[in-house]
Structure formats: structure tokens, C-alpha cells
């Protein structure tokens, strides 16, 4: 057992109020391990509490995998099967030769097809605009302004993170309806971009600050103006941050529900979350649970695929954003 | 605003660094680079927030009506709803989500982070635990609706497997706790990730010294791990508060039928704002909704100040 693992155990011992015997018995090995090279992770000595902790983690992990399986499998089942044999493989719809019946219902009759295209449009345009507006702003705040002014303005932006969207819906709804911008996807895009700025500025100023001054100076000596320095040198260097920022914003906007409910009334303009919300309401009249789960899967799967490719970046971005 | 900012920068650039052409053109860029973001942010986030604060002092029933100033009547009405009115339930439930849910999430996150630290395949496990965070809360709510459906949902099926009777998980008095465990489960991965990154930065020699001095494992946690990760825990706490105060759609679909508001006993502040605005129960009360929204902001502010105070006292440089 290396020293590094002991706090983990200790915390659980403390919680279990059964510390003394286990800890004292391990203390000698803690001393000797400074002389020994550290063993590979996962091969340290045996501890009951640690084992329990690992057991709980495995159960949690298995459960997360199971729900994904359950969601996919259930979206191919009839309601009777979903509740009657929740663990089994789908059978009834395959037996009648229409295995994709739920998906077809969700996609065609319930308008998830249109909603999918609308959402892709809204999220894509929002993310492009967000980088076009947010990255220069973050650069200006972190590198073009003095520390005092830049810091104060950055705080002014970041405070926006703490404003719940519920606070905005009434003034936004009233203002947008008087301008005829309700039911407009572009109107929604403008709102999304504005409301994503606090997080974007927060994350990107962090990235720009971490770039060394020398690079900027070298670019200046080579005769580049500040605008071109930003576009051709600094922005490419902060690429990792920009990708992380776009990914996190894309996930957030893809799943955004409250504002899409408030600002979209006409179902030809619905985004996915909005369509799912309406679809759920019709459930009380026709209990088409299979199609509902297919709808949920249509909302979740694109993000899941994105996550498969970008999990590392997302996690890295969070780590960096909360780092200091 | 931006022009004056521009000038300040120009002055700063002239006095602090060499007054060359480069610094001046950098200053000139500040305005154009910042202006679009600042305009959008002020127009769509700052001004509506101020408008909501102003509207919270009016009596306004929405479209077709004009807001009339009525002082603090809305707030007085909210206070009067204690102990059993709509606002009382919403307020208490929101506090439960923030405090109890927060404690649960952070306890879980710390336990998992410390066990995961030197476990095989911890990267993969972390990614799997993080997964629920990318799922729309709306979809999570619907999913929990299936899981906890009575009498034939997944959870009740599992109870039946071990020979227990089914439970009405989604009745108004228990749904808050069901929703909270769901949210804790879903967000644990996010906070595990953040807290793990903080624990990874604690230098190993501190633990070695403590071991030589004969510290128990609990003492090591209390005196090394916790103080050295306190900053990050504080930030994570702020993030938790912000996300917990605005819980809305998950409760909306889990506790209710979806087309109109769930039973009052399960409300959060977010649900109440929506109900008073678009809920479809009686006439809308925009003034009251704005007052509730202001309470949400005040709650966020209060918790952030509280957390920052806690953080500052214990923060350690290393």
C-alpha cells in the first residue's frame, strides 16, 4: 500500500468510525514504501474499505452503461414489453416486421425530423457566432486591456454565469414578441449567443492569459499588427480552448429547454428539446411510450456520439476552467 | 462606454509600456474587439435582469395588461404563503436541492475521486460517470419517469425481483427526494472530474511527511487533502449552487403530466416562475413571477458570498 492511497481509505474509515486498528496496522508499510519504488496503480495492498469503494464505483458504472442499453432497447419495444420485460431484448415489433416503428413515428409523425434540422442549424450558427464574437472579446479583455480594466470587465461578464434563465424569460418574451421575433430561429440564436457569452469569456480569457507574452512580442517584432497577431498567431494557439468551449456550449444549447419553450410556439420551428417537451405532453392522451423513448434517444444519441469523440477534451476543459 | 474604455487603455498603454505605435494600435483594437460581445451581453442579459427586478415591484397579469407599481406587495404575498403556500414549497424545495443535494453530491464526488485515483481504468470509468451530464435534463426527467413509474416501472420491477412491494415513488411528497437522488447521480461525474483534478495537484511528499509524523488517514484527509483542494471545492460549490437554483424541467416532467404544472408540493422556484408566466393555471401573474425570479438571483448571490467567505478563510498556497 503506498502512501498516496491512504487518505482515500482514511476518509472512509473516518466515515465508518472504524479507524484505529486498520490504520495502525498499515503505518509501518507506509514508512517503508518511501524506499521502494511505487507499485503500478491498482496493484497495492488489500483493504476492505477500498474494496467496498471500488464495488460501489463499479455498480455506478455498470448502472450508467445499463441505462444506455435500456434506452436503446426500449425504443424498439412496444409499451407492453417496456414495462413487462424491461431487461429482455425487443421481440414484438420484430415479430410483425416493423422493428423501427417507434423511430419512424417519432421522426416523421412527431416532427423530430424537422426539429433535428432546426436544432443543428441553431446550435451550429450559435457556436460560429459565439467564437466570432466571444474570442475577440476574451482576447481584448485578457491581452489588450490593462489588468485593472480587463479584470473588472471580465468579472462583469462572468457574473452573468450566476443569472438563472428564469430571470430573463418575461422581459425577453415581451420584447421579442413586440419585435415579432418569437418563433424565429435567428432570434433564438441571438439570445443563445448572448447568454453563452459569460461562460465563453470565462473559459477563453483563461486560455489567452496562459499564453506566454513572448509569442506576441515576437509577432510584433516580425511586423505583424495586433489584429493579425490575434488571427494568425494567438487564436490558433488557443485552438484547444476554442474547441472545448464550442463543445461545451454545443452540448448546453442542444439540451436547452426553458428558452425554447418560451420563445418557440409554432411546431415547424421547434428545436429537439422543445419538440420532446410537447411530445411528452401528448403522452397523457396516447400512451405511445416506445415512440417517446425513441424521441429521447434521438435527442441523446447525437450528444453521445459527440461525447465519444470529445470526452477527453470536455473533461480537460472543465479541469482547466476550474483550475485556479 | 467602449470609447472611454478605449481611452483608458490608450493612457495605460502610454504610461506603462513603451509608447510605441504597436501599443497604440493594440489599444485601438480593444473597442472593436469587445464591443459586439458587450452590446449583446448588456442588451440580452443585463437589461432584462434589471427589467425583471423593476417588474417585481408591479402588479401585471401579462399580455393585454399594463404593469402598475405596487411597491413590495408581491414580496409580501410571497412571505404570506408560508408555511404551506406555493412559494413556501418552492423555496424550501429549492433549498433542499441546493443544500442536501449539494452535500450528497460532494460527499459522493470526494469518495469516488479518492478511490478512483489509483484504480485501473479510472479514465474510462470517469468518462462513463460523466456521461449523464451531457444528457438534456428534460430527457433525464422523462427517463426517471419510466424508472420510477408505479406500479410497473424499472425500480418497482427491481423491488419485485427481490420480493418487495411496489412503492409510489412519484407522489408529491416523495418526488423531491427521488428527483434529488436522480440529480445527484447525474451530476456526480461532473464534480468527480473537477475534484479529482484538484487532488491530483496535491504534492505526494505532504502525505509522506504526515505518515512519518504518525498521522491517521482521517487526519491526512482533514489536514492535507481538504485544505489544499478547498479553492476548487469552493468554485465547484458555486457551480453547484447556480445549477441547483434553476432546476426546472426535470421536476416539471417527473412530478407532473407535462402540459400543466405538477402538484404544488413538488415545486421549485424555477417551476413557480414558469407556472406564473405560462403555466396555464388561471391568469398569468408576471409581477409575482418576476418577484420569484428575483428571489432566485438573491439566493444565488447569498450562497456565492457564503461560499467565498468559507473559501477565503481556509485557502492555502502550495
What is the C-alpha separation between A275 and A254, in angstroms, rounded?
12
Q: Considering only CA atoms, which of B100, B110, B109 is closest in space to residue B247?
A: B100
- pLDDT tens, position by position, A124-178: 999 999 999 999 999 999 988 877 888 899 999 999 999 999 999 999 999 999 8
The predicted pLDDT at position B218 comes to 72
pLDDT tens per residue across all 324 residues of chain A: 333 333 333 333 333 333 333 333 334 444 444 444 444 444 344 566 677 778 888 888 998 898 888 889 988 988 888 877 777 788 788 877 788 888 988 888 888 889 999 999 999 999 999 999 999 999 999 988 877 888 899 999 999 999 999 999 999 999 999 888 889 999 999 999 999 999 999 889 988 888 888 888 888 888 888 888 899 988 888 888 898 889 889 999 999 999 999 999 888 899 999 999 988 888 767 778 888 889 899 999 999 998 888 877 777 766 665 543
Which residues in chain A (94-123) have CB-CB distances under 8 A to chain B?
Answer: none
Q: Which of A23, A136, A194 sits opposite B45 (nearest CB)?
A: A194
Tell me, yes or no, if B157 comes closer than 8 A to chain A by beta carbon. yes
Helical spans, DSSP H, in chain A: 6-16, 20-32, 48-74, 79-84, 92-95, 101-104, 112-139, 147-158, 169-178, 185-210, 213-221, 226-228, 235-237, 239-255, 258-263, 272-282, 289-321
Would you tell me the crossing angle of helices A147-158 and B2-16 to the nearest 10 degrees? 140
What is the C-alpha separation between B102 and B94, in angstroms, rounded?
11
The predicted pLDDT at position A167 comes to 93
Give the distance from residue B277's alpha carbon to the nearest chain A alpha carbon, in angstroms.
Answer: 7
Contacts of B46 in chain A (CB under 8 A): 160
Q: Considering only CA atoms, which of A158, A195, A134, A157 is closest in space to residue A322?
A: A158
Which residues in chain B (65-104) have CB-CB distances under 8 A to chain A?
Answer: none
| Torsion angle (degrees, nearest 10) of CA B179, B182, B183, B184 | 120
What is the C-alpha separation between B275 and B146, in angstroms, rounded?
24
- pLDDT tens, position by position, A86-132: 777 887 888 777 888 889 888 888 888 899 999 999 999 999 999 99
What is the C-alpha separation between A141 and A137, in angstroms, rounded?
6
A223-253 burial string, b = 16+ CB within 10 Å, else e? ebebeebbeebbbeebeebbbbbbbbbbbbb
The predicted pLDDT at position B4 comes to 55
The predicted pLDDT at position A44 comes to 42
CB contact under 8 A, B36 and A84: no
Q: Considering only CA atoms, which of B158, B197, B294 is closest in space to residue A322?
A: B197
Give the distance from residue A191's alpha carbon to the nearest chain B alpha carbon, in angstroms.
Answer: 7
CA–chain centroid gap for B68, Å, is 33
What is the C-alpha separation between A90 and A99, in angstroms, rounded?
9
SS3 assignment for chain B: CHHHHHHHHHHHHHHHCCCCHHHHHHHHHHHHHHHHHHHHHHHHHHHHHHHHHHHCCEECCCCCCCCEECCCHHHHHHHHCCCCCHHHHHHHHHHHHHHHHHHHHHHHHHHHHHHHCCCCCHHHHHHHHHHHHHCCHHHHHHHHHHHCCCCCCHHHHHHHHCCCCCCCCCCCCCHHHHHHHHHHHHHHHHHHHHHHHHHHCCCHHHHHHHHHCCCCHHHHHHHHHHHHHHHHHHHHHHHHHHHHHCCCHHHHHHHCCCCCCCCHHHCCHHHHHHHHHHCCCCCCCHHHHHHHHHHHHHHHHHHHHHHHHHHHHHCCCC
Give the distance from residue A283's alpha carbon to the nearest chain B alpha carbon, in angstroms.
Answer: 8
Percent of chain A whose pLDDT exceeds 70: 82
Q: Which residue has the cell 467496498?
A: A52
Tell me, yes or no, if A179 comes closer than 8 A to chain B by beta carbon. no
Backbone angles phi, psi at B59, to 5 degrees: -100, 120
The predicted pLDDT at position A43 comes to 38
Q: Does pTM top 0.90 for this prediction?
A: no
Give chain B's radius of gyration (CA, Å): 25
| N-terminal to C-terminal alpha carbon distance within chain A | 31
Cell numbers standing for residue A62: 455498470
Task: Using DSSP, state whether A228 is helix, strand or coil.
Answer: helix
Contacts of A164 in chain B (CB under 8 A): 242, 245-246, 270, 293, 296-297, 300
The predicted pLDDT at position A130 comes to 96
The predicted pLDDT at position B273 comes to 93
Contacts of B155 in chain A (CB under 8 A): none
What is the C-alpha separation between A290 and A94, in angstroms, rounded?
13
Q: Considering only CA atoms, which of A63, A7, A64, A2 is closest in space to residue A37?
A: A2
Give the distance from residue A78's alpha carbon to the nearest chain B alpha carbon, in angstroms.
Answer: 14
List C-alpha distances in Å: A217 to A146, A221, B4, B26, B288. Answer: 16, 6, 26, 12, 55
Contacts of A323 in chain B (CB under 8 A): 197, 232
pLDDT tens per residue across all 318 residues of chain B: 445 555 655 555 544 445 466 677 777 888 899 999 999 999 999 999 999 999 999 998 877 788 889 889 999 999 998 888 889 999 999 999 999 999 999 988 888 887 887 677 778 888 888 889 889 999 999 888 888 887 777 788 778 888 888 888 887 778 999 999 999 998 988 898 888 888 888 888 888 888 888 877 677 778 888 888 888 888 889 999 999 999 998 999 888 877 788 888 899 999 999 999 886 667 788 999 999 999 999 999 999 998 888 777 555 556
Nearest CA in chain B to A62: B128
Report ipTM for this prediction.
0.84
Task: Using DSSP, state whether A95 is helix, strand or coil.
Answer: helix
Amino acid at each position: 500500500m503506498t502512501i498516496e492511497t491512504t487518505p482515500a481509505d482514511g476518509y472512509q474509515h473516518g466515515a465508518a468510525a472504524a479507524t484505529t486498528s486498520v490504520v495502525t496496522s498499515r503505518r509501518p508499510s507506509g514508512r517503508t514504501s518511501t524506499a521502494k519504488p511505487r507499485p503500478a496503480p491498482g496493484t497495492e495492498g488489500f483493504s476492505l474499505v477500498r474494496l467496498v469503494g471500488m464495488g460501489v464505483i463499479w455498480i455506478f458504472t455498470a448502472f450508467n452503461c445499463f441505462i444506455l442499453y435500456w434506452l436503446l432497447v426500449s425504443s424498439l419495444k412496444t409499451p407492453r414489453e417496456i414495462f413487462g420485460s424491461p431487461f429482455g431484448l425487443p421481440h414484438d415489433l420484430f415479430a410483425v416486421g416493423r422493428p423501427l416503428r417507434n423511430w419512424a413515428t417519432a421522426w416523421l409523425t412527431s416532427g423530430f425530423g424537422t426539429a433535428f434540422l432546426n436544432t443543428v442549424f441553431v446550435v451550429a450558427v450559435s457556436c460560429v457566432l459565439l467564437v466570432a464574437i466571444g474570442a475577440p472579446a476574451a482576447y481584448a479583455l485578457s491581452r489588450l486591456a490593462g489588468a485593472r480594466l480587463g479584470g473588472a470587465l471580465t468579472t462583469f461578464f462572468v457574473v452573468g454565469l450566476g443569472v438563472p434563465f428564469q430571470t430573463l424569460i418575461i422581459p425577453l418574451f415581451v420584447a421579442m414578441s413586440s419585435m415579432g421575433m418569437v418563433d424565429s430561429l435567428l432570434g433564438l440564436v441571438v439570445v443563445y449567443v448572448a447568454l453563452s457569452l459569460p461562460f465563453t469569456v470565462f473559459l477563453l480569457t483563461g486560455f489567452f492569459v496562459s499564453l506566454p507574452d513572448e509569442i506576441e512580442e515576437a509577432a510584433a517584432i516580425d511586423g505583424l499588427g495586433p489584429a493579425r497577431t490575434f488571427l494568425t498567431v494567438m487564436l490558433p494557439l488557443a485552438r484547444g480552448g476554442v474547441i472545448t468551449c464550442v463543445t461545451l456550449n454545443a452540448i448546453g444549447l442542444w439540451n436547452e429547454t426553458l428558452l425554447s419553450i418560451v420563445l418557440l410556439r409554432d411546431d415547424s420551428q421547434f428545436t429537439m428539446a422543445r419538440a420532446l417537451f410537447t411530445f411528452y405532453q401528448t403522452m397523457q392522451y396516447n400512451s405511445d411510450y416506445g415512440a417517446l423513448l425513441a424521441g429521447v434517444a434521438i435527442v441523446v444519441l447525437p450528444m453521445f456520439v459527440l461525447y465519444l469523440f470529445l470526452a477527453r477534451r470536455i473533461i480537460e476543459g472543465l479541469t482547466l476552467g476550474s483550475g485556479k | 462606454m467602449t470609447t472611454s474604455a478605449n481611452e483608458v487603455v490608450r493612457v495605460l498603454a502610454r504610461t506603462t509600456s513603451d509608447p510605441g505605435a504597436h501599443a497604440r494600435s493594440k489599444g485601438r483594437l480593444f473597442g472593436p474587439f469587445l464591443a459586439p460581445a458587450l452590446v449583446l451581453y448588456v442588451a440580452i442579459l443585463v437589461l432584462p435582469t434589471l427589467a425583471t427586478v423593476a417588474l417585481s415591484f408591479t402588479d401585471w397579469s401579462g399580455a393585454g395588461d399594463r404593469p402598475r407599481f405596487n411597491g413590495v406587495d408581491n414580496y409580501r404575498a410571497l412571505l404570506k404563503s408560508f408555511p404551506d403556500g406555493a412559494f413556501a414549497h418552492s423555496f424550501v424545495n429549492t433549498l433542499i436541492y441546493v443544500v442536501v443535494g449539494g452535500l450528497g453530491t460532494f460527499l459522493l464526488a470526494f469518495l469516488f475521486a479518492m478511490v478512483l485515483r489509483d484504480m485501473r481504468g479510472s479514465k474510462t470509468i470517469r468518462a462513463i460517470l460523466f456521461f449523464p451530464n451531457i444528457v438534456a435534463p428534460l430527457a433525464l426527467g422523462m427517463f426517471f419517469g419510466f424508472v420510477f413509474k408505479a406500479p410497473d416501472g424499472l425500480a418497482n420491477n427491481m423491488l419485485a425481483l427481490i420480493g418487495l412491494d411496489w412503492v409510489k415513488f412519484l407522489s408529491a411528497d416523495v418526488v423531491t427526494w427521488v428527483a434529488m437522488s436522480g440529480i445527484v447521480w447525474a451530476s456526480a461525474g461532473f464534480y468527480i472530474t473537477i475534484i479529482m483534478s484538484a487532488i491530483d495537484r496535491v504534492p505526494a511528499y505532504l502525505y509522506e511527511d504526515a505518515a512519518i509524523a504518525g498521522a491517521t488517514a482521517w487526519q491526512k484527509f482533514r489536514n492535507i487533502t481538504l485544505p489544499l483542494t478547498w479553492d476548487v471545492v469552493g468554485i465547484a460549490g458555486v457551480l453547484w449552487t447556480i445549477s441547483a437554483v434553476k432546476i426546472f424541467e426535470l421536476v416539471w416532467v417527473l412530478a407532473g403530466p407535462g402540459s400543466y404544472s405538477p402538484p404544488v408540493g413538488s415545486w421549485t422556484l424555477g417551476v413557480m416562475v414558469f407556472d406564473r408566466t405560462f403555466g396555464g393555471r388561471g391568469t398569468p401573474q408576471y409581477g409575482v413571477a418576476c418577484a420569484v425570479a428575483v428571489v432566485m438571483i438573491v439566493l444565488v448571490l447569498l450562497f456565492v458570498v457564503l461560499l467565498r467567505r468559507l473559501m477565503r478563510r481556509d485557502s492555502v498556497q502550495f
